Amino acid sequence: MYYDFVQWLSSTPTDLLVVISLPVLLLDGIRYCFGAVFVFLQDFACGLWERVCRIPEPTCYRYRPSVCVVIAGLNEGNTIGHTLRSLWGTYPEMEIIVVDDGSNDDMSDVVQEFDREYGGVTLFRRPHRGGKSSALNCALPFIRAEIIVCVDADSHLAENAIWEVVQPFADPQVGAVSACVLARNPFARLVTWMQAFEYLQNIFVGRRVSARLDVLGIISGAFGAVRRDAIQRLKGWDVGPGEDGDLTIRLRRSGYRIAFAPQARCYTNVPEFWTQLVKQRRRWQWAVVTFDCRKHVDMGNPLSPGFRFSNLLVLAEHWLFDIALTYVSFAYLFWVLLHPHSDLWKMYVWCYILYAIMQLIQAGVFLYYSDNRPRELKIAIVAPLMPLYHALMRAVTLWAITEEFFSRRSARDNFVPAYVREATWHW
């Protein structure tokens, strides 16, 4: 079998190999691998130039705005204490507001106990769940700080994370900053291991590329920062799911830039079971249709007020890679299955090898940027399995966007309580 494949590969014309490789190259090669290599080469050249010219690196943080950290959670009694401890004392004169969104566990008790011991934490306890957007909006009128930092109640922040995430706001055109969210439980199971690789691939490196091209279209809900006056101008967060992506697009429409702070690290628990992961990704992909194809579709109209070409590119990326190429790839797969060929398995093996090579290239890039190479190197071991993982996630994307297109599935999701969903517009 091995010799048959090698003989087929050596005898197949180059142009035919390129055609066979197109699904892999178009789906994730252009979007992730090529962009990662481009940014790596650019930064490597800049770093080499700085060493040759002996340009000193900044030794301290130069921008110090007032900060309020808002943590909204539901039944997070087991994790909220760890999150608060990771925040405490990491930034001068930092406000902390915790919104208990109708929990029935000891979340509020844990927060109150922490406040009695350390002080400086304001707790809002809501009698009924309203959803994350509602909880964040509950805290908004009480915030006086210049920068609002949103943190999930099950996340752990690096010691310098707040300092790092506020530095881009020195530019008055920056309206929000996406931090770098990584997996806190990478080695719990195979599924978490793969997600840890994906987070390094798509967030740690991928958002560098998007920010460099000014097409970053999301700030992480687990850890992200926004200007208070900007979000007040937008009247707060809109109803989710996908409220973080929605807010980012609204900020872009208002003329703000979205920055990325790769050293602002946040470690969050990722789903440990495949069923949980599929449920999470379905919800994420619904937002592609809800926001990019309905609510904010006019952002791609050159005749609309405040049109920006970079905003059109944000929509076009999702239209092309998440929607058009997803349907095309599965249509192509269906066509191939209807036309069996004796070399079909060889074509699949070639595509797998090519995809695995691209995963290894991206692993090399995130290892270059890493400040914890032993941990990231261990995560990179799973790279040969990532083509299978991405194939599954592509199938989930197909399922999610199809059901959202035809049934507006997001309008029935329990991520937001029914009484809140019924009172808002269904995009």
For residue range 83-142, list pLDDT tens digits in order.
Answer: 999 999 999 989 999 999 999 999 999 999 999 999 889 999 999 999 899 999 999 999
Q: How many residues does the chain have?
A: 427
When divided into structural domains, the chain yields a total of 1
Taking the C-alpha atoms of residue 158 and residue 384, their distance in angstroms, rounded to an integer, is 29
C-alpha–C-alpha distance, residues 88 and 110, integer Å: 15
- Which CATH number characterizes residue 152's domain? 3.90.550.10
- Domain of residue 265 covers 67-273
pLDDT at 50: 79
The whole-angstrom distance between residue 420's C-alpha and the CA centroid of its chain comes to 25
Bridge partners of residue 149, in order along the sequence: 69, 225
Does residue 408 form part of some domain? no
At 341-399, the pLDDT tens digits run: 777 888 888 889 999 999 999 999 999 999 899 999 999 999 999 999 999 999 999 99
Residue 55 lies in a domain: no
**Percent of the chain beyond pLDDT 70?**
99
d(CA 249, CA 256): 10
Model confidence at 416, pLDDT cuts 50, 70, 90, reads confident
Half-sphere exposure of 266 (CA within 13 A, CB side): 30
Instruction: Evaluate whether residue 238 is within a structural domain.
Output: yes
**Dihedral pair phi/psi, residue 217, rounded to 5°:** -115, 15
Residue 290 belongs to a domain? no
Give the separation between CA 75 and CA 97, rounded to whole angstroms. Answer: 16
Model confidence, pTM: 0.92
82 in any annotated domain = yes
Per-residue pLDDT at 280 exceeds 70: yes
The per-residue DSSP string of 186-204 comes to TTSSHHHHHHHHHHIIIII
Asked if the structure places residue 258 within a domain, the reply is yes
Q: Is position 250 within any domain?
A: yes
Query: Bridge-partner residues for 86, per DSSP?
Result: none
Instruction: Kindly tell me if the per-residue pLDDT of 340 is higher than 80.
Output: no
Is residue 142 in a domain?
yes
- Checking if the pLDDT of 8 tops 80, the result is no
412: CB partners within 8 A, 6+ apart:
421
Is there a contact between 177 and 259 (Cβ–Cβ < 8 Å)?
yes
